[in-house]
Structure 1
Amino acid sequence: MRKGDTILFDAPPAVLAQGAVGGKKEGEGPLAADFDLLFPENSLGEATWEQAESRLQQHCLELTLQKARLPLERLSLVLGGDLQNQCTATAYHMSRTDVPFAGLYGACSTMAEALGLAACLAAGGCVEVAAALASSHFCAAERQFRTPLSYGGKRTPTAQWTATAAGCCLVAPHGAGPRVASVTFGRVRDYAVTDLTNMGAAMAPAAAETILRHCADTGRTPADFDAVYTGDLGLVGSRLLAKLLEAEGLEMKNHTDCGLELYDVHKQEVQAGGSGAGCSAAVLCGRVLPALRKGKLRRVLFLSTGALMSQITSQQGMSIPGVAHLVELASEEAER
């Protein structure tokens, strides 16, 4: 059933399994114990950072399939993406498989986009098992969007640290596990932010609008959920989101941001927090879904935000559009 921009599932699809892998800095952060696999160095034995991200995805997908005790051949479709030009990290990874693949680019919103689409396909009977997969790599992203690390450029206080991480989850029409209760796909919004080092400000208005639309469509408020996870607004974007919602008469006391969960902003040099397609993906698959599976959380909103710019548009002085996709997740017990 569709109400406004929100799709509510009569028979909510199940998340059969999830997996999260990360790099060195993620292993030094507060969520280290939530990862299934951490690498002590970010090259993963590969010749380039770009190839390392492909290998990161490979490990993540294989690990998730192992946890579900499913062979690769059982996948109907992989919906995945990354931050590299033309989603090449995911494409090279998928070239080593023999599974149908749909590449997605939503920048840091990719995981919620992939999970939402996988749930729609599963609920519609179009797939038996679909994988939602997203990743990012700090060094690959810095080289593409900013400057090579060897330049030693100084980072501004509003900048965010791109996670070297990946998250994957398997979605099916039926089965044991947390449920995808509803999905609200966001609309692209451009609030004329041009500062490439302030992604939080660029994405916060889109996040606020998607939350407001979901609440209007469903008649619920953030207080009806155990938690509202955004990713990745960081310190700046989270404060701005709170102000934007307060202006609309909506208070959100149960909000947490994946970019602030993944790292300790006081002890790790991550400026305003974490970002990257792998950031919210890893927090979702390492922290949120396991908590729902164990019954520690009953119902949450997971909202990934993306800044839809490129290196070229930034150099041309163009503003940065933002988008935010929302997925409502429930424990199996709560949905039953």
Structure 2
Amino acid sequence: MRKIGKTVIFDKPPKIIGHAGVAGKKEGEGPLAKDFDMIFEDTTMGQQSYELAESAMLHDAIIRSLSNAGVAPSSVDFVLSGDLLNQCMGSAFALKDLEIPSIGLFGACSTMALSLSTGAMLVNGGASCVVCATSSHFCSSERQFRFPLEYGGQRPPTAQWTVTGAGSSVVSNEGRGTEIKAVQIGTITDLGITDANNMGAAMAPAAARTISSFLNDTGSSPEDYNLILTGDLGYTGSQLLYELLEKEHNIKLKGFHKDCGTLIFDLKKQDVNSGGSGCGCSASVLCSHILKQMDKGILKKVLFVATGALMSPTSSKQGNSIPGIAHAVLLER
């Protein structure tokens, strides 16, 4: 492992030997339905609360990824997971019966890239196998960050729809699978955005910073990748990302980029405003649709950059700005 600028390069790249992405009913009605490992029509998952439903969904994704990798929970050194709920309780209840040493992470919607980055460094440092996972649920997130579901508040065009979904990847130093060639832990970026209904604007500057930094560190350009994939900027944030990269870094990203938030839903038919968001957005898309395409050889080189808005209900009520962060993971097959 060596570091160039802010980017960590792996001389012996860890491999994703198993993965699974699961989703809720609305997500299952979108363009990626055929790629999800499971679609849950009942998004309560038979649980007494939406928070426990999210935990059940995350638990399911982890078990499916382990099964796909042919790895027993007892063979896993660490599980790295987090979510959007207070004290990451969604992950805690999902993991408590697995008997695996647990590392809780909070990166907001960037958590899938954060867990993969941290997990890859752990494997490169001597761990043999780790699980990297995260989740979100529309109803649990709305209750915590916005309004009670019964309120029925109107959404502006810049607002996004929190994905009900989860994703999990098994990262190992042995076996076959997509390689994690390099990672970059993001730097917190805050341009003073305070509108909680415009997360794309809050996160786009962080994405631009990480992408430009990664390209500079590796001496590469957008043309060198089959895909540069952001996590949940949505339509609004993606347009801002193009503008920021071109004006500030002379990088033309349009044509080489897609966003999980615009892939998971049909923006014209599903009434999700600017697209999807939440930890489960990038996790479910990456761990199903994208990694399956890499397994088939359709995609060979993907730069995955998940973004997060580092806010809380308290910070928003106090009128504070919304800092953003973006972590990068270079995937090659």
Per the normalisation by structure 2, the TM-score is 0.98
2:221 alignment partner in structure 1: 221
1:173 alignment partner in structure 2: 173
* SS state at 1:228 partner: strand
1:134 alignment partner in structure 2: 134
The one-letter code of the counterpart of 2:311 is M
Q: C-alpha distance in 2, partners of 1:79/1:162? A: 21
**Map 1:1-336 → 2, pairs under 5 A:** 1-125=2-126, 127-247=127-247, 248-252=249-253, 253-331=255-333
* SS state at 2:34 partner: helix
Q: C-alpha distance in 2, partners of 1:63/1:10? A: 29
1:194-236, Cα deviation, whole Å (9 max, x unpaired) = 0000000000000000011101111101110000000110011
Greater mean deviation of Cα atoms: 286-295 or 224-233 = 286-295
Shift of 1:32: 0.5
Greater mean deviation of Cα atoms: 293-302 or 132-141 = 293-302
Shift of 1:294: 1.3
The one-letter code of the counterpart of 1:276 is G
Q: C-alpha distance in 2, partners of 1:35/1:329? A: 20
Shift of 1:93: 1.4
Of all paired residues, the percent bearing the same amino acid is 48
The one-letter code of the counterpart of 1:183 is V
Greater mean deviation of Cα atoms: 91-100 or 187-196 = 91-100
* SS state at 1:43 partner: coil
1:334 alignment partner in structure 2: none
Shift of 1:68: 1.4
Q: C-alpha distance in 2, partners of 1:155/1:251? A: 31
Q: C-alpha distance in 1, partners of 2:240/2:148? A: 30
Q: C-alpha distance in 2, partners of 1:294/1:74? A: 27
Q: C-alpha distance in 2, partners of 1:200/1:104? A: 22
Q: C-alpha distance in 2, partners of 1:217/1:301? A: 13
The unaligned stretches of length 5 or more in structure 1 are 332-336
Shift of 1:296: 0.8
Q: C-alpha distance in 2, partners of 1:59/1:315? A: 34
The one-letter code of the counterpart of 1:133 is A
The unaligned stretches of length 5 or more in structure 2 are none
Shift of 1:97: 1.8
Q: C-alpha distance in 2, partners of 1:325/1:295? A: 24
1:219-256, Cα deviation, whole Å (9 max, x unpaired) = 10111000000011001100000000111210112100
